[in-house]
Amino acid sequence: MVEAVAQATKDGLVFVFDRDKGTPLFPVKEIPVPVIPALPGEKPWPTQPIPVKPAPFSNQVLTKDDITTRTPEAHKYVLDRFINSRHGSKYLLPSTKGTLFYGFGGGAEWGGAAADPNGILYVNANNMLWWLQMRPTKAENPFSATKGTTLFNINCAGCHGANGKGGQGAGAQAYPVLTNLGRRLSRKQISTILETGRGRMPSFAHISVDDRKAIVDFLLDPNIKKTNRAANANDIHNSAPGVVTAKNASYLYLPPYLNNGYTQFRDPDNYPAVKPPWGTLNAIDLNTGEYLWKVRLGEYPELTKQGIPPTGTENHGGPVVTAGGLLFIAATYDEKIRAFDSRTGKIVWEYKLPAGGFATPITYMVNGKQYIAIAAGGTRYGLKPGGYYVAFTLK
């Protein structure tokens, strides 16, 4: 038997390698991808490495056929954006026109996958649409930008949106808007969040104290006196993008383009903009590269009531599989934790948590009794927050 390691990606692909040699167990081929240039100076690479097996576990290329038909109005709204944007492959280069694609939060998520010793991989997945648009920064005149604004736009705008005005489009509300921050947080509180991180907000302890102070100054007073201007145009040209220490004066460098943050594109009623399934759970036999089963994960109760088969929902949080043949996962909008029969994908039990369970459950044993526990923290997708650990016993 070959010992294997497998990686399920945000792209919805599974790469399986021989654990000792590092060689792929299923060939990985260089597949041609669109090379339509989008921004000046780009030289897109013509191929991407894609495994021939297993088949992708989430949608790959957006087509007109995928657009939601939930209501005629929703269809028209999404079709309009589809027609007026770049769309299709997730490997399209970001452009100023804007791209509608399956990307960012598609495929596998931070919860990871579960596996059992006979080589079955269980992975939950999302089919969400995202809207990525680049905007030139020229208009923002780097000579008048403060060190704080520039550092903010380089380090923080990817999540919080340009100047903190919010990165998420309609929907998930995952990243707080940071305007008028002074009304709810003190300088000390903001500095602490930057130093330690909080929840899914990463720590920025690697940025110098001075740079962090400049960012906090900007957040507390965006109109702060314009100091620390770029010395001359050469400084701007000579700094490398993505380098963020004050030491090499890179705050003088404003990249030529910035993106619009981590923005989902949803229909006007805030449902996903494509046809279901919106969330799935997959069992893949890594010995053969074939799917054992694929089911929808989660539902919108109000849609189910209208007679629409469960759609699956966007999901964050992974599965855990037991030797007894049960797979436990929460992760969905409907705030439920479910147990699936790991051989068939049939739901055998479900329970409504006190708040969304966007974490991976654990299993443990005390005095011969097996337990499943999950952190139900809620908050994602604009759902209510929670602060619970919930444990169940297995009989």
The residues of the shown chain that bind ligand HEC, judged by CB under 6 A, are 155-156, 158-160, 174-176, 178, 181, 184-185, 190, 193-194, 198-202, 204, 215
Please tell me what DSSP assigns to residue 240. Answer: P
Q: How far is the CB of 151 from ligand HEC (least distance, A)?
A: 7
Residue number of the CB closest to ligand HEC reads 156
Give 326's contacts (C-beta < 8 A, 6+ positions apart). 339, 340, 341, 342, 348, 394
Q: How far is the CB of 128 from ligand HEC (least distance, A)?
A: 17
Would you say 122 or 175 has its CB closer to ligand HEC? 175
277 cis-preceded (ω within 30 degrees of 0): yes
Q: How far is the CB of 162 from ligand HEC (least distance, A)?
A: 12
Q: How far is the CB of 358 from ligand HEC (least distance, A)?
A: 11
Backbone angles phi, psi at 361, to 5 degrees: -65, 160
Please state, in angstroms and rounded to a whole number, the distance separating the CA atoms of residues 61 and 66: 9
Would you say 124 or 155 has its CB closer to ligand HEC? 155
Would you say 47 or 203 has its CB closer to ligand HEC? 203
Single-letter residue type at 127: N
- The secondary structure of 121-175 as a DSSP string is EEEEEE--EEEE-EEESGGG-TTT--HHHHHHHHHTHHHH-GGGS-S--TTT--S
Q: How far is the CB of 374 from ligand HEC (least distance, A)?
A: 18
Single-letter residue type at 170: A
SS3 296: strand
By the 8 A CB rule, do 59 and 279 touch? Answer: no
Would you say 181 or 353 has its CB closer to ligand HEC? 181
Please state, in angstroms and rounded to a whole number, the distance separating the CA atoms of residues 42 and 39: 6
SS3 213: helix
Q: How far is the CB of 207 from ligand HEC (least distance, A)?
A: 7
Would you say 211 or 335 has its CB closer to ligand HEC? 211
- The secondary structure of 50-97 as a DSSP string is EESSSPPSS--S--GGGB--SSHHHHHHHHHHHHTSEES-TTSPP-SS
In the structure encoding, which two tokens stand for residue 208, read together?
A: 């110098």
Q: Which of 333, 319, 334 is nearest to 283 (CA)?
A: 319
Please state, in angstroms and rounded to a whole number, the distance separating the CA atoms of residues 191 and 20: 45
Q: How far is the CB of 237 from ligand HEC (least distance, A)?
A: 25
Q: How far is the CB of 101 from ligand HEC (least distance, A)?
A: 20
Q: How far is the CB of 257 from ligand HEC (least distance, A)?
A: 18
By the 8 A CB rule, do 101 and 132 touch? Answer: yes
